[in-house]
Amino acid sequence: MPAHIPDPSSHPDPSRNPEPAPSRAPSTGRPLILSNALDAAGRNTADLATDVLAVVVLGATAAQMGLLNALGTLAFLVLGIPIGVLVDRSPTVRLLLASGLVRAGLLASLVLAWSLDGLTLLHLYAVATLAGTAAVVVETTQTAIAPRAVGVSGVSRLVSRMQSAESVISLVVPALAGVLVALTGAGPTLAVAAALTAFAALVVLRLRLAAPEQPTVAADEDPTGSAGEEPEAATTALARFLREGRLGWSTLRERRTLWRLTLGSMLINLGLAVHSAVEVVLVLRELDLGATVLGLLVSAGGVGGLLGSLVAVPLADRLGVPRVLRGSVLLLAPVAALTLTALLDPHRATAWLLAGSFCWGVAIVTYNVLLAGIAAELTPTELMGRVSATRRTLTMGIVPVGGIAGGLLADQAGLVATITAWIVLNAIGAAVVATTSFPRDQSANGPAPYNPA
Residue 446 phi, psi dihedral angles, 5° rounding: 100, 180
Query: Interior CA angle at 342 toward 339 and 346, to 5°?
Result: 155
Q: Distance (Å, rounded) from C-alpha 252 to C-alpha 84?
A: 13
According to DSSP, the residues that pair with 446 across neighbouring strands are 443
Residue 49 burial (10 A CB sphere; 0-12, 13-18, 19+): buried
Sequence-ordered list of residues with C-beta below 8 angstroms from that of 112, at least 6 positions apart, any chain? none
Q: Distance (Å, rounded) from C-alpha 75 to C-alpha 88?
A: 17
Q: Distance (Å, rounded) from C-alpha 13 to C-alpha 15?
A: 5
Set out the domains of the chain in order of their start, with CATH numbers. 26-210+246-434 (1.20.1250.20)
Q: pLDDT value at position 130?
A: 92
Q: Distance (Å, rounded) from C-alpha 320 to C-alpha 442?
A: 7
**Quick count: other Cβ atoms within 10 Å of Cβ 401?**
17
- Contact indicator for 374, 441 with CB cutoff of 8 Å: no
Q: pLDDT value at position 216?
A: 44
- Contact indicator for 318, 450 with CB cutoff of 8 Å: no
Q: Residue 44 to residues 41, 156, 281, 299, 422: CA-CA distances in angstroms?
A: 5, 25, 18, 13, 21
DSSP-based three-state secondary structure for 446: strand
Of 135, 141, 134, nearest in space to 84 by CA: 141
Q: Distance (Å, rounded) from C-alpha 309 to C-alpha 6?
A: 26
Of 75, 73, 55, nearest in space to 63 by CA: 55
What DSSP string describes 64-85? HHHHHHHHHHHHHHHTHHHHHH
Q: Which amino acid is at 312?
A: A
- Could you list the beta-strand ranges (E) of 262-374: none
Sequence-ordered list of residues with C-beta below 8 angstroms from that of 187, at least 6 positions apart, any chain? 49, 53, 111, 114, 115
Q: Distance (Å, rounded) from C-alpha 190 to C-alpha 182?
A: 13
Could you read off the pLDDT tens digit of each residue along the chain, which spans 453 residues?
333 333 333 333 333 344 443 334 444 578 888 888 888 889 889 988 998 899 888 888 877 887 888 788 777 777 777 777 777 776 677 888 888 899 999 999 999 999 998 889 999 999 999 998 888 888 878 777 777 776 666 666 677 677 777 766 776 787 788 788 888 888 899 999 999 999 988 988 887 766 555 444 444 444 444 444 544 544 576 676 667 767 778 888 888 888 999 999 999 999 988 998 788 888 888 888 877 787 788 778 878 888 888 888 888 888 888 899 999 999 999 999 999 999 889 899 999 999 998 999 899 988 988 888 788 778 777 777 778 778 878 887 787 788 888 888 888 888 899 999 999 999 999 999 999 887 755 433 333 333 333
Its pTM stands at: 0.63
